[in-house]
Amino acid sequence: MEFSYDEVEKEMYATYRFPQYMQGYENIVHGGFVSMVLDEVMAKVCIYEEIPAVTARMEVRFRKPVYVNEVITVRGRIVSRKGETIQLLARCLDKSGIEKVRAEAVFIRIY
């Protein structure tokens, strides 16, 4: 995946198609792979902001299925920072911009 940074929205983003081998149920991407990509976009925004941090907790809400070979966009941003903790939000959107999956996470700054 190739990530880019949206200076206006202050979000990291990437477009992706999950291949067939990542399916869980027939033609639906396994939630673990979707979660991994959402975690990655949040990590990339921390790297872009030069904040060395790792995932401490992540909650994922699956609203609609993500289909194999469907073009999706993942977007991640920092919501807030307090001390060593960073609150982040990531979303998986279909080509119409409809949110299919949302993740909220806490990252912990490392040194």
| CA 42 and chain centroid, separation | 6
Q: What is the pLDDT, as a whole number, of residue 111?
A: 81
State how beta strands 71-82 and 85-93 pair. Answer: antiparallel
Number of Cα atoms under 13 Å in the Cβ half of residue 49: 23
The predicted-structure confidence for 64-98, as pLDDT tens digits, reads as follows 999 999 999 999 999 999 999 999 999 999 999 99
Superfamily of domain 4-109: Hotdog Thioesterase (3.10.129.10)
Integer Cα distance of 83 and 14 in angstroms: 28
DSSP 20: G
Integer Cα distance of 81 and 83 in angstroms: 7
The predicted-structure confidence for 41-52, as pLDDT tens digits, reads as follows 999 999 999 999
DSSP 96: T
Residue 14 pLDDT exceeds 90: yes
The H or E element spanning position 35 is: helix 31-48
